[in-house]
Structure 1
Amino acid sequence: MWTHAKWPGRFLPPHLAAGERLGAYATWCNAVEGNTTFYATPSRDTVESWARQTPPDFRFVVKLPKPVTHERRLADVDEPMRAFLEAMAPIESRTHALWVQLPGSFGPGEVGALAAFLRRVPRSYRCAVEVRHPAFFADDHAGRLLERVLDAAGAEWVPFDTTALFAAPPASDAERDAWTKKPRLPRRSRALTGHPIVRYLGRDATERTVEGWRPWLDTVVAWLREGRSPTLFVHTPDNADALELARRFHDEVRARLPELEPLPEPMPLPAEDEPLTLF
């Protein structure tokens, strides 16, 4: 996600053309969740524009299409996967992971389908799997089974941490909506690979979001000291402050590890008194 109605004019220059928005986002953050790919595989031209707008070390975590994960549940998906990977080819070197987000009904009984699917993914791609079935978190046997399958494929388990969201009753319309849609699962912070990926969902109140990510500061710093290369995405129910919050998390990590590379300087906004032009 690199566009949001509340970002232009506040974090990003207003009135950017579609082919410039990702480039502006990439001056704020060095990684992005490619969520739109779940709903439709983009054209190759579109993906080529993503490559043009981002530096070589930018990280894309692209979600696999809905027909692959939710409709066919990873079975008989060679054709849609081939079409998807052909479209993604322009950013193959920047695809940090293929994000395999599975439906909440995908449980331990289907782990075999996941194992077979992961064996067929080209080795040039890294996979990161997000599960939402409660059994993987409550049943030790199910959790270990999933870890073995992921470990065999060199794939990561993506935690979606919603504990801050559910720590207190919702206080905004966006939070109330998130309460009805987001999974309520325990926090999980065990990395399986050298490239752990975390999805963190806080609250619309900044102080609650910051308080909720404290455990992740310790975890991310420890991973970096172990030589891992983690990626953490910060969300809130309305996502209005997500860019600023992501940079704040990065700054808090750098305060503990000054050797960590800084994020790029954000693209400057036009001065308020700058005249508008048509061309």
Structure 2
Amino acid sequence: MTNSPSYPCYVGARGWEHEDWLGSFYPQDLPADWRLTYYNNFFTCCYLDYPAWAQQTEATLKQWVVDTLPRFRFVLEIPASLDESDHARLAILAPRTGLADTTVALRASCLWLPDVPDWRLLSAQIQQRLQTPGTSCYLVSSAHSVADLQQAMVLLEILGY
């Protein structure tokens, strides 16, 4: 396992490549290959569906690890069965997944942000999930609303996470 820090709560979107973020979140002149680096300065995780990570080259995955801070986590969709190339890709991403053993599927405790979040309810859900020692909670927006992600970061700060 790596010496990457572990936090109880992470906030992020499903993917970081959202064209509607260009000019509103990402600076208009930011090169596309810098977006992950920029994104990880504001948010602490990113959910990736299986095809989004499994179809990448090993060189690309290595670059993702280089481009992200040690605190950052990729929350990965893991299929029921993995092939040898999947295990190799997971091993590359291990510093940013918190997986010590790539034969163990990541069963992240995701809380999916609804389109209109109820922040009180979400606060209670976070606190309930984190009652189990060693559990991490991933707040993920599939609608990829930057405003909601920023509000979720503020909520975690208020809660002391």
Q: TM-score, normalised by structure 2?
A: 0.74
1:1-279 to structure 2, matched below 5 A, reads: 1-35=15-49, 37-38=51-52, 41-64=55-78, 69=79, 74=80, 77=81, 81-96=83-98, 123-124=101-102, 126-128=104-106, 156=107, 197-203=109-115, 209-211=116-118, 213-224=119-130, 226-227=132-133, 228-236=135-143, 239=144, 242-257=145-160, 260=161
Distance 1:95 1:253, change over 3 A: closer
Structure 1 residues not aligned, in runs of 5+: 98-121, 129-155, 157-195, 204-208, 261-279
Distance 1:14 1:88, change over 3 A: farther
Maintained 8 Å contact 1:41/1:84: no
Report the residue type matching 2:40 in the other structure: A
User: Kindly, what percent of the aligned residue pairs are identical?
Assistant: 20
Deviations 1:106-148 (A, max 9, x none): xxxxxxxxxxxxxxxx8346534xxxxxxxxxxxxxxxxxxxx
Deviation at 1:249, TM superposition (A): 1.5
Alignment RMSD? 2.7
Deviations 1:227-248 (A, max 9, x none): 4331111233xx3xx2331221
Deviation at 1:225, TM superposition (A): 5.4
Report the residue type matching 1:92 in the other structure: A
Distance 1:89 1:18, change over 3 A: farther
Structure 2 residues not aligned, in runs of 5+: 1-14
Report the residue type matching 1:23 in the other structure: T
Deviation at 1:221, TM superposition (A): 2.4
- Count of residue pairs the alignment pairs up: 146
Q: How far, CA to CA, are the matches of 2:34 and 2:17 in structure 1?
A: 11
Report the residue type matching 2:77 in the other structure: K
Q: TM-score, normalised by structure 1?
A: 0.46
Answer 1 or 2: higher relative contact order, Cα 8 Å, separation at least 6: 2
Maintained 8 Å contact 2:46/2:75: yes
Q: How far, CA to CA, are the matches of 2:97 and 2:53 in structure 1?
A: 18
